[in-house]
């Protein structure tokens, strides 16, 4: 019972912070709207709108009311899921984004898997053989990759691997005639659902380079963080105790050193999941993929201000929710955090 109360206390506090952040985000987006030069109603209605249409929008958004009322009206509309209307697609921004979100999530999930699959083993080997050849080369690689602009890396690899060596498709999400009926909106899943295995491998073939580019940038951070954490843990006493039991290096690393180093990695990868969604804006367009990043990019190009700001609101919200989920996961994984978080409030 005590534990239950402590859990709910932690959860409500964490949820409160998330709500506060979302409110802060909404206020920032409202500020952005107010910062826009020119007539807001005109911007919302589009450049070609008639005077009557503009007035109708002005009426609907309550733009003649005092700013504080406009602000409250804006928050109210957000709560109802109204992120504004795109002047290009003429659809509600939320509807547009919902349509392409699965495609972005697919990219981010695969990028995250690649990221962890490369960075964690590399971090372990580098830390265990500190100062060795692998450690040195992987640290240099990490520094180099960490300094490269994502979109540039995407362009260069697209050119080299797509155009020159032709090992991956240059762009798009699937080859001609490979598409499956849309169910989830994520091409890989749709192909699986349709039982279209050729299509499934085709979508994977299309996603591997964009995901790898996205992963590369974030893998450098995971690598550095895990390596530093492991170096600390490997110096600690209990690792010696584990070795004294006769554990092999592999057992010691995987069962003891790694779990004790995973905390900062988990925190970071949670933050990364959010940042990756943000960075999708840099990668999706280069590879002509659908997604919220590409949507935002096009909105910027077409000066579709409300679509841009709606995307900011949407991406920010997704990031906050991902961070919330990661924090809760962390609580479940680490008994020390559990003890610290719950214990301090449990009495």
Range 229-288, binding another protein (CB under 8 A): 231, 236-238, 240-249, 251, 255-256, 259-260, 274-275, 277-279, 281-282, 286
Q: Tell me if 102 contacts another protein by CB under 8 A.
A: no
Determine the interface stretch with another protein among 5-13, 52-60, 140-148, 174-182 (rule: CB under 8 A).
Answer: 140-148
Bridge partners of 92, per DSSP, are 85
Taking the complex as a whole, the smallest distance from the CB of residue 179 to another protein amounts, in Å, to 25
Nearer to another protein, 5 or 129 (CB): 129
Pair 227, 196: CB distance under 8 Å: no
**Chain centroid offset of residue 149 CA:** 17
146 binds another protein (CB under 8 A): yes
DSSP 102-123: HHHHHHHHHHHHHHHHHHHHHH
The minimum distance between CB 342 and another protein, in angstroms, equals 12
The residue (of 196 and 279) whose beta carbon lies closer to another protein is 279
Only one of the segments 54-62, 76-84, 97-105, 297-305 lies at the binding site for another protein (rule: CB under 8 A); that segment is 297-305
Task: Give the residue with the Cβ less far from another protein, 193 or 232.
Answer: 232
Which of 20, 67, 254, 325 contacts another protein by CB under 8 A? 20
Return d(Cα 314, Cα 332) in angstroms, integer: 28
Q: Select the span of 31-39, 73-81, 100-108, 181-189 touching another protein (CB under 8 A).
A: 31-39
Q: Which of 3, 69, 198, 301 binds another protein (CB under 8 A)?
A: 301
Segment near another protein (CB under 8 A); pick from 84-92, 182-190, 206-214, 303-311: 303-311
SS (H, E, C) 240-291: HHHHHCCCCHHHHHHHHHHHHHHHHHHHHHHHHHHHHHHHHHHHCCCCCCCC
Q: Among 66, 147, 177, 195, indicate the residue that binds another protein (CB under 8 A).
A: 147
Please report whether residue 49 would count as binding another protein according to CB under 8 A. Answer: no
CA-to-CA dists, residue 195 to 184, 188, 329, angstroms: 14, 11, 33
Smallest separation, CB 191 to another protein (Å): 28
Question: What is the distance between the alpha carbons of residues 274 and 277, in angstroms, rounded to a whole number?
Answer: 5
Q: Is 226 in the site for another protein (CB under 8 A)?
A: no
Q: Is 328 in the site for another protein (CB under 8 A)?
A: no
Q: Does 166 bind another protein (CB under 8 A)?
A: no
Instruction: Give the C-alpha separation, 80 to 94, whole Å.
Output: 11
Q: Does 25 bind another protein (CB under 8 A)?
A: yes
Residue 283 CA: distances (Å) to CA of 153, 157, 181: 9, 12, 25
Non-local CB neighbours of 303 within 8 Å, separated by 6+ positions: none
Q: Which is nearer to another protein, 179 or 317 (CB)?
A: 317
143 touches another protein by CB under 8 A = yes
Contacts of 83 (CB under 8 A, 6+ apart): 92, 93, 94, 97, 306, 310, 313, 314
């Amino acid at each position: 019972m005590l534990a239950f109360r402590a859990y709910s206390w932690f959860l409500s506090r964490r949820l409160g912070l998330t709500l506060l952040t979302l409110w802060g985000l909404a206020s920032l987006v409202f500020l952005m709207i107010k910062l826009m030069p020119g007539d807001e109603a005109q911007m919302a209605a589009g450049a070609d709108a008639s005077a009557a249409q503009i007035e109708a929008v002005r009426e609907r958004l309550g733009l003649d009311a005092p700013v504080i009322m406009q602000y409250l009206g804006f928050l109210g509309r957000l709560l109802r899921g109204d992120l504004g209307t795109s002047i290009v697609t003429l659809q509600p921004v939320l509807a547009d984004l919902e349509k392409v979100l699965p495609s972005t999530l697919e990219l981010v999930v695969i990028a995250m898997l690649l990221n962890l699959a490369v960075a964690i083993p590399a971090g372990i080997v580098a830390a265990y053989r500190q100062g060795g050849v692998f450690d040195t080369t992987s640290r240099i690689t990490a520094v180099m990759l960490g300094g490269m602009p994502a979109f540039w890396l995407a362009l260069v690899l697209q050119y080299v691997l797509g155009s020159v060596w032709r090992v991956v498709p240059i762009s798009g999400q699937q080859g001609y005639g490979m598409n499956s009926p849309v169910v989830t909106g994520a091409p890989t899943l749709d192909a699986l659902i349709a039982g279209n295995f050729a299509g499934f491998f085709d979508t994977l073939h299309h996603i591997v380079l964009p995901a790898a580019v996205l992963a590369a940038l974030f893998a450098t951070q995971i690598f550095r963080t895990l390596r530093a954490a492991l170096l600390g843990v490997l110096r600690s006493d209990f690792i010696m105790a584990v070795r004294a039991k006769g554990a092999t290096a592999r057992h010691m690393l995987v069962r003891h050193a790694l779990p004790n180093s995973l905390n900062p990695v988990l925190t970071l990868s949670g933050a990364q999941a959010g940042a990756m969604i943000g960075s999708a804006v840099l990668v999706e367009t280069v590879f002509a993929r659908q997604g919220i990043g590409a949507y935002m990019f096009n909105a910027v190009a077409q000066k579709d201000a409300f679509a841009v700001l709606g995307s900011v609101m949407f991406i920010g919200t997704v990031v906050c929710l991902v961070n919330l989920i990661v924090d809760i996961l962390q609580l479940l994984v680490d008994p020390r955090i559990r003890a610290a978080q719950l214990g301090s409030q449990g009495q």
